[in-house]
Structure 1
Amino acid sequence: MNLPSRPPSPPADLTEPTGPPRKLKPSPQLNRWSRARAIRSGRKLDRPVRKTLTLDRRDPVADAADGGASSAGSSDADVDEVEAMMGKQIYMVSDGTGWTAEHSVNAALGQFEHCLVDRGCPVNTHLFSGIDDVERLIEIVKQAAKAGAMLVYTLADPSMAESARQACNLWGVPSADVLGPITEAIAAHLGVSPSGLPRGAPGRNFPLSEEYFRRIEAIEFTIKQDDGALPQNLHKADIILAGVSRTGKTPLSIYLAQKGYKVANVPIVMGVNMPKTLFEVDPEKVFGLTINPVVLQTIRKARAKTLGFSEESRSNYSEMDYVREELEYAGKIFAQNPSWPIIEVTAKAIEETAAIVFRLYHDRRQKYAMPRISKLY
């Protein structure tokens, strides 16, 4: 039968079913990102903000209705759907650069790789640095409550830390004070009260100490000794790294240098003689780096493509037969120098490899007699 033509429908009432999810309303996640950017930049948010420092006991989720369009049409189902796709939120708040908070959270998240890698429990982190007044802090806590986020904070000022704790308790935001407990424990141990000032605060002075100049000298030395340069200076190095191309020698060297160690790295290449000075220095300074051949081939192929090498010119460099042969060649050199620890860098972050180097380096300097289970670390 013939159906009567239907005139264009007016905008759907949000109280009625809206059909398939082809909604033109703004995304709740996009709203949260916009508000987070506003908080980071110090700009006022579009909703009213109390000028007093008294904690507002209104529900920040219900507050969104007073803001108008930013929450119009959003529902708990929408927020749950976004959280299921985008993951849980972790807000990191610091009165300084946020380095401590960020690295603490990343270290803790490392315990959940089994869940994060396959996106079984995805997580998004947001850093708010330089938060030095209570009003901005309260705004972030309110935003965390609306986003269902956790708050991790490193606030040196005890009153700021207490304000964060009270606000999180008030609005039901799960939180963790990273700096407070350890600062209190050290204060009790030393019998001295902490300054309560964040790093870089105007009231703190950081004179150029001997350690500072030692680190600068180490970085300069390491850069000059990169990739086998100036082999006559190997005896001046604290640490020497040896390995085939793309085993991470240079970034590891720079990381160690930033800790104040003079580092030299020597590439192992088939057909190229190793510098004689490498075998004349104290062998306890030398560390060998090795890697899984499949991973190494993948890295080299990507590197060759980035450099614009043709297929012919990169055939040897990234072909599996050559990769295996070069690793075997490096293995023979390592076997001839049994006092060199061999570190397997496959799937290790620079920090993880550096931690092994530091442990072995200091164990040797302190003459610790540690039982060796395996020569491969």
Structure 2
Amino acid sequence: MADKGGANSPLKLPILDLSKANNPIQKQRLLEQLHDALFNVGFLYIKNHGVDLETISNLVSLLPALFGQPAEAKAALSKLNSPHFLGYSGYAEEITLGEKDLREQFDLATELPVVWDPTPTGYSEKGNSTSGRDFSHLYWRLRGPNQWPSEEHVPGFRRAFTEYHDALQALSYRFVHLVEAAFGIPVGTFDAFFRPTPVHDVVPTFVPAQHRVKLVKYPPIPSSGDGVRGQGVGAHKDSSGWLTFLYQVGQEEGLEVLCANGEWIAAPPVDGTLVVNFGNAFEAATQGAVKATVHRVLAPKSKASPRYSIPFFQGLPLDLTISEIQSYIPESVRKLRRDSANPNLQENVSSFQDPRWDNLGESQLRKWIRSHENVARKWYGSRVTAFYLQ
């Protein structure tokens, strides 16, 4: 598809002011803007989002030290040590669309214990809120604790990360309520998917979700002779969660979004904002009413500084299926795309159209195996890896 846009494109993504949600008169206009952004674009910026700037800066300030650890310290945190695919990935170790992503990263998540239990009966007694569930499915092995850098190398990191994670988690819950209101879904419908304790008299029936956070460094690389920049991350839709909140550090550009007309438009850093987009699961569950939009990241130019970013992926319970989520969503929402003047979604709508991946745990396991085959072969074996690589 022709790259007609990029940094010089006149098209821009919408910026929504979440403080309007606190004003009864302005809130309705905000909901209309949110509906339009999610239905027609699938990407947006949010400002006045309620995440304290100090919480953000405390984590951002530690990124140079995190990535500047000695090679042996980073190797000790390698994803190869983790069946949960949590830890450090070195430069160009992750794959998107069969190509190496020119970045290094740390993957962390909500700090949770291991629940996978391959006992013959398939039932685990670990934990009070989840006892009696079948934790023998391989996808439960994705769930588990982080690998933390030492205080010696990155002082204060665990505390700064945890505060950031908790702030983004709280924001994600508030934002989902706005999405529900924008589409006429009863507010609180999705609480049972996320909350570990009852909220609004909704008693959780699912194992609490594990959210994931990437801390990413894109080193500058030389452009090719024709001026084409390398693949920081290849074109893709997010499959790691329900929705994504991205903080872009500094002013270095790189993120681009694919419009419905085939044009790539830039999503440069904007002070005081987070970029929000939605994953495959949300698109599939709403049958396209909420778009999961294709996006990519170009590697920084050769003379630029490294580019850092921090995406937060709101998770969903691994034992949930897209079919179950759809049962919570009114038909009036699920038919919005079909009834629109342009019902066609973008190409490669969603892996969830394949019934094999209707289960979120299966889909997540497939995603991680395909992006980190070496980790998969170590912890899941060659036969399992080959199945998910099909």
Bigger CA radius of gyration: 1
TM over 0.5: no
Task: Please report the TM-score for the alignment, with normalisation by the length of structure 2.
Answer: 0.20
- Which structure shows the bigger proportion of residues in helix conformation? 1
| Higher RCO by CA contacts (8 Å cutoff, separation 6 or greater) | 2
Task: Please report the TM-score for the alignment, with normalisation by the length of structure 1.
Answer: 0.20
